Chain A
Amino acid sequence: MLKLILKVVAFLVILLILVLSVPLPDRSKYTGLKEDCFYHAIWLHDRIFLNRKPVDVAFLGSSHTINGIDDALIEHSLDSLKLSVVNLGYCRYGENLYYVLMKELLKMKKPRIIFLEIREDEDRYSHPVFPYLAEPADVWMAWPWFNRDLVSDDAVSVRYRIQMIRQHFLATDTVFPPRKEDFGFASPADTVSPFVLDEVRMKRKDRKWTLNAFERDFYMAFPRAYIRKIARLCESQHVKLVFLYLPEYASGLWEPLEAGTYRQYGSILIPPREIFETKQYWGDDSHLNQAGARQLSDWIAWVIKNKYPGI
């Protein structure tokens, strides 16, 4: 019985190694995500790996970043500094994905400063797209403590890899032409109804952030570990790391709950309240619209010019 178990385990380990060692083009894992986040993964890949334009200032984060940071506007505002700015946001939140994207970015480009989106509180779970884009080693060696998604991420990673291998070798994957856009900002021009925002404010007024210190240490161990990894990566590459606070409408928090963690690794940038309090600046209750993004981006450009002139 033991002999069989050992043989089966050895067989499966070899199988796993074989599956993971099949060479695949980097782009396939991004194209495999297809319509997820409006085909944004393909653009992310092409901007990092194919587009020769340098990246000096990068923004990493969720849809709050995609909708809120007008990278073209910031670059234009910083024209005198000749800085190349890019918004590398991706839908949904999770520090481990930003770690993966940052690794990819640092492989190909030499950014001087990276703005990492932070919100009211950290998400304690893995980003849903993490097992799709991360290197197998990153998924398998993912921070295991309090990582609820470790096993499912491992399974998804292997399954996705098999799918990629099938698509690649059977040539059944959809061919996406290279995306040449320099900027990742995308935001609606529309403004959400003020009545909707009023309702949201009423609901969020009573929201309680209830984790006590022990629970916070327990649940946040996972995202904190990735923030630490991100900070170390930036440090090793001499890249300045700034945490940019992008809350949702009427969150009621003017500083993130994990501020203490962020301060250990970099400075926190908290935009003016008026931007987030003005109803006309919101496309929905979580995302800024183009008018809001313009305000926020102007302010960020001003900050870069005045606070980080030497980058």
Chain B
Amino acid sequence: MLFTSLTFLVFFSIVVLVYWIIPQQAGWGWLLVSSLFFYGWYHPAYIGLLAFSVLVNYTFGRLIEGSEDKGRKRKLLISGVIINILLLGGFKYAVPLYGLLAHTSGNNGNCGSVFSKLLVPLGISFFTFSNISYLIEVKRMRMTAERHLGHFANFVVFFPKLLQGPIERPGTFLAQLRQGKDFDYSRVTGGMRLMVWGFFKKLVIADRLAVVVNSVYGHPYQSSGPLLILATVFYAFQIYMDFSAYTDIARGAAAMLGFNLSLNFNRPYSSKSVKEFWTRWHMTLSSWLRDYVFLPSAYFLSGKMKKEKYAGLSTENLVYSAAIILTFFICGIWHGLGWNFIIWGELFAVFLITERYTHKARIRIFRDFGLAGMPRIYKSLQVAVTFFLVTLTWVFFRSDDTREAIFILRRIFCFVTETTAITGLNLTGGYILCRGFTRTDLVVILLGIPMASLIEYGFYEKALWAKFGSLPWPARWLVYYVFIFIILGFGMFESGSFIYFKF
């Protein structure tokens, strides 16, 4: 039941209608049933896994809270986290790991065993991280363990966020579950608007970009350098539009049910540095990693290091580097067990460490070039360089394996040095129009991306939502109709699922 399918719209309409009609006390039960139905639509068998995960974490939460002894609390937390990681690892990494081992032992990756019959339960990475977050928060006594099993189950399985996040923090979400809910007209209509915006980004832009990206990345060895550059840039926008569209639909759906889900994206491609990028991109994952991986490992390492400097490097910088390498290793692994994901994560670590070490030098260079007096040009350069670096990492993220990614990069950079080939990039009559991409698609993309960026700029920087809400209803309806007609007219309804489903 994809968010963009008619089935989901019917399902969701029923869920919302019934939710606001039935007594509030029964609301959690209805949400739970709806979420399990939603999840069971994909793999009914994995409802058992979800139930197991809920029961284990609920029990561990209560045990951790009930324990007086700090050491015992710690042991319980470690046990709970290990169970969650085993669950994640067992399902998500068993198949590729088995393939890898079989390959190493000369079995050539023949996964004819039970592993090959297993499907990765959808959303397992997301609900496992939510569960781990819950256990840690209880251990740190930042919240009390949830007594109501139904509420806790809803925290884990709430269907708008179940498959692709946002990775909610237990404290804020459980508090919302406990609160009574009154039907809030403006919140519900705001949710609808957000959903329509998500549909637009996904169906009109992301899936249109996917035509070229899938075609080129499906046959990288038959693709020229210019085409690979174009596909990589398209992929940068595709993954953003796709994932942020899912989040918008999820947040909109949750708002229609009276819940606030966390913001997950805030115009990431307008970032002036890689560090800023990670405060704007997949924000719930980055803050999770910051709070549960980066900061604890940094504190741990700082406590262990006695001297002020090691080999001329300050302890602070060394700790930062080690913690960031570990954090982005986990970030890469979380996305998938493959060298390409590990390299993708570690490239970010390298960029972040370099940014830290070269901060002063870069300011000096820009000052020397006289750019300090031209803040707009300086900012544009920063944004462009950040976009370039981030897009470079997407090559590893999108490729099937490291070998393919390296091939693509080599071809891209060979092309860049051999500038004579640049005339080969014929946008109107050449390569990309042979890849199932029409002139209309090209126009929609060239208009759609700037338009979407401009509108999002309005959302986040100019409070466009609030201004829009205060317009008279005929004007608002006109805008809705225009958007719906754009979606109906230009949407790619035959397209596949969301990119982050596989994670």
Q: What is A's interface to B at a CB cutoff of 8 Å? A: 1, 3-5, 11, 14-15, 18-19, 155, 162, 165-166, 169-170, 172
Known contacts A4-B185, A165-B489, A170-B440; decide if A11 and B20 are in contact (CB<8 Å): no
Q: Which of B188, B438, B490 contacts A4 (CB 8 A)?
A: B188
**B489 vs chain A, min Cβ distance (A):** 5
A1 near B438 with CB under 8 A, answer no
B189: interface (CB < 8 Å): yes
Q: Are B484 and A15 in contact (CB under 8 A)?
A: yes
User: Is A15 touching B489 in the complex (CB atoms < 8 A)?
Assistant: no
Instruction: Determine the distance from Cα of A3 to Cα of B473 in the docked complex, in whole angstroms.
Output: 14
Given known contacts A11-B480, A165-B489, A169-B489, what 13 new A-B pairs fall within 8 Å (CB)?
A1-B20, A1-B21, A5-B17, A11-B477, A14-B481, A15-B481, A19-B488, A155-B6, A162-B488, A165-B488, A166-B489, A170-B489, A170-B490
Q: Does B366 contact A (CB under 8 A)?
A: no
User: For the complex, is B183 an interface residue (Cβ under 8 Å from A)?
Assistant: yes
Q: How far apart are A242's CB and chain B's nearest CB, in angstroms?
A: 43
Q: Complex formed: what's the CA distance from A1 to B188 in Å?
A: 10
> Closest CB of chain B to A164's CB: distance in Å?
11
Interface residues in B444-485 (C-beta closer than 8 Å to A): 477, 480-481, 484-485
B473's nearest neighbour on chain A, judged by CB, is A7
A3 to B20, CA, bound (A): 13
Per-residue CB contact flags for chain B residues 224-239 toward chain A (1 = under 8 Å, else 0) read: 0000000000000000
Contact partners of B440 in chain A: CB under 8 A: 170, 172
**CA gap between A155 and B477 in the complex, in Å:** 23
* Chain A residue, CB-CB nearest to B188: A4
Q: State whether A4 and B189 are in contact (beta carbons under 8 Å apart), knowing that A15-B484, A172-B438 are contacts in the complex.
A: yes
**Shortest distance from the beta carbon of A166 to any chain B beta carbon, whole Å:** 5
Q: Which residues of A contact B189 (CB under 8 A)?
A: 4
Kindly provide the distance from the CB of B14 to the nearest chain A CB, expressed in whole angstroms.
13
Q: Is the CB of A166 within 8 A of B438?
A: no
Q: Which residues of B contact A166 (CB under 8 A)?
A: 488-490
Instruction: Decide if A18 touches B185 in the complex (CB within 8 Å).
Output: no
A169 (CB) vs chain B CBs: closest residue: B489
Q: In this complex, what residue of B is CB-closest to A10?
A: B477
Provide a sorted-by-A list of 22 A–B residue pairs whose CB atoms are within 8 angstroms.
Answer: A1-B20, A1-B183, A3-B185, A4-B188, A4-B189, A5-B17, A11-B477, A11-B480, A14-B477, A15-B481, A15-B484, A18-B481, A18-B485, A19-B488, A155-B6, A165-B489, A166-B489, A169-B489, A170-B440, A170-B489, A170-B490, A172-B440
Task: Give chain A nearest CB distance to B278 CB in angstroms.
Answer: 38
Q: CA A1 – CA B22 in complex, angstroms?
A: 12
Instruction: Return A272 CB to nearest CB of chain B, in Å.
Output: 50
Q: How far is the CA of A168 from the CA of B477 in the complex (A)?
A: 25
Q: What separation, in Å, do the CA atoms of A14 and B6 have in the docked complex? A: 19
* Residues of chain B with a CB closer than 8 A to A14's CB: 477, 481
| Chain B residues numbered 3-25 whose CB sits less than 8 Å from any CB in chain A | 6, 17, 20-21
Residue of chain A at shortest CB distance from B256: A4
A1 to B481, CA, bound (A): 22
Alpha-carbon distance A172/B20, docked complex (angstroms): 43
For B484, list chain A residues within 8 Å (CB). 15
- A170 contacts across to B, CB distance below 8 A: 440, 489-490
Tell me, in angstroms, the Cα distance from A270 to B490 when the chains sit together: 52
Give Cα distance in the complex from A5 to B20, angstroms.
Answer: 11
Interchain CA distance A166-B481 in the complex, whole Å = 16
A169 to B185, CA, bound (A): 36
Interface members, chain B 153-192 (any A CB < 8 Å): 183, 185, 188-189
Q: How far is the CA of A269 from the CA of B430 in the complex (A)?
A: 62
Complex-state Cα separation, A172 to B480, whole angstroms? 25
How distant is the Cα of A166 from the Cα of B6 in the complex, in angstroms? 18
Nearest CB of B to A220, in Å: 31
B17 (CB) vs chain A CBs: closest residue: A5
Chain A residues with Cβ below 8 Å from B481 are 14-15, 18
Q: How far is the CA of A155 from the CA of B10 in the complex (A)?
A: 12
